[in-house]
Structure 1
Amino acid sequence: MAKHFARLDNAHPAGLGRRLGAMLYDSLLLLALWVALTTLHVLTSRLVLGVPAEQLGQGTLQVVSLRLLLVLGAFGFLAYFWMRAGMTLGMQAWRLRVQTPDGQAISLRQCLVRFVVGGLSWAALGLGHLWVVWDPQRRSWADLASGTSVMLLPGRRR
């Protein structure tokens, strides 16, 4: 059963500035994750597989396996947080949550679509993310393709 989020009454679609702020914050976390994964890859190559130091990073298998590990690590990081609470750590800091239109947590398939289309949005010189500025409902290409929306949550009451 999908998790239904509370606090939907005062939530409204998030703008570009907050989305970019959350992306910047999360990119720093992803960078740290990638450093750890790269270290794990190097240690496994050297200690388990016995690859000589001068051959690290050479050859198709070395390059493809590291790239695949980094992409899967990024997807795992994002999907875990999106499915669990609807927000990554960067999204928490900016009070954003990704959800279905009826306030449900998103599925693994929706996470995958968001991840792929989000990457393509950057490949198109950021146009897919800038789309938020022109869309009346403030949706990016990833929102449109995955059937999700990024909502700005109300601030905490004191």
Structure 2
Amino acid sequence: MNFPEVPPADTPAPRLRQRMACFLYEGVLLFGVVMIAGLFYGIVTRQTHALVGTAGLRAFLFAVLGVYFVYFWWRSGQTLAMQTWHIRLVTRDGQPVRPLRALCRYLLAWLWFLPALAAVWLSGLTGSGVTFGALSAGVIAYAGLVWLHPQRQFFHDAVCGTRLISWKLPPRKARGKTTAPNS
């Protein structure tokens, strides 16, 4: 773990717009992670047809995404997208997140998607348009819950005892570099 310092307890939460932009950027980055993991799974299992072994592939991708998030949240408190948008995950008191708490947050973060997917499944409706519409509405509704929390944290953060903060690393100082006088 390489946390540079413990942030003050009153460090503000990032704006919802900033968090949603980070959410979208994370999706773009995860597309590559999922594609590489899916290729690896297909090679290892010698999958010759896309519809064979889909349950195993889903479980494998769920585990890969879990490792990705838990590792980055534990190691530095930031995924690659969070670094770009200057957002950091810490505990309520500003300490680094431990692996078990990061795993709990990963599992509960699926609340972004599961209610909408369950509603589509229970309704019996099919089609990518219906699924996309339900997921969009579910994400907007879940993001709106942030206004119910006094520190503007997401539900899964409130339950797990974590919080997102605005965090920009201080600039690195030149280490051991001295400038020689002009001769």
TM-score, scaled relative to structure 1: 0.81
Moved over 6 A (4+): none
Q: How far apart are residue 156 of structure 1 and its match?
A: 5.3
Letter in 2 for 1:146: C
Match of 2:162 among 144, 148, 154: 148
TM-superposition CA deviations, 1:91-132 (whole Å, max 9, x none): 111110000122211122211221122111333412333222
Is 20-29 or 8-17 further displaced after alignment? 8-17
Residues 113 and 145, structure 1, Cα contact 8 Å, conserved in 2: no
**Counterparts of 1:27 and 1:45, CA distance in 2:** 26
Pairwise CA distance, 1:39: 0.7
Partner of 2:26: 26
Asked which structure has the greater CA Rg, the reply is 2
* Alpha carbons 1:37, 1:70 under 8 Å: kept: yes
Q: CA deviation at 1:28?
A: 1.2
- How far apart are the structure 2 equivalents of 1:99 and 1:5? 12
Counterpart of 1:129 in structure 2 is 143
Question: Would you say 1:89 and 2:87 are equivalent positions?
Answer: no
Secondary structure in structure 2 of the residue aligned to 1:13: coil
In structure 2, the residue matched to 1:6 is 5
In the TM superposition, what is the alpha-carbon distance from 1:17 to its structure 2 partner?
1.1
- On the 8 A contact 1:81/1:87 being kept in 2, the answer is yes
Q: CA deviation at 1:90?
A: 0.6
Aligned-partner Cα distance in 1 for 2:163–2:92: 7
Q: Which has the higher contact order (CA 8 A, sep 6+)?
A: 1
TM-score of the aligned structures, taking structure 2 as reference length: 0.71
Alignment match, 1:79: 70
User: When the two structures are aligned, how many residues end up with a matched partner?
Assistant: 148
- The residue number in structure 2 matching 1:104 is 95
% of aligned pairs identical? 24
Give the secondary-structure state (helix, strand or coil) at the position aligned to 1:102: coil
Q: Rate the CA distance shift 1:116–1:131 in 2: closer, same or farther, 3 A.
A: same
Which sections of structure 2, spanning at least 5 residues, go unmatched? 116-137, 172-183
Counterpart-to-counterpart distance in 2, 1:77 and 1:4: 18
Shift in Å, 1:31: 0.8
Gaps of 5+ in 1: none
Inter-partner Cα distance in structure 2 for 1:3 and 1:71:
26
Is the contact between residue 3 and residue 76 of structure 2 (CA under 8 Å) also seen in structure 1? Answer: no
Local SS of the residue matching 1:12: coil
Backbone CA RMSD of aligned residues = 2.4
Q: What's the counterpart of residue 106 of structure 2? A: 115
SS in 2 for 1:97: strand
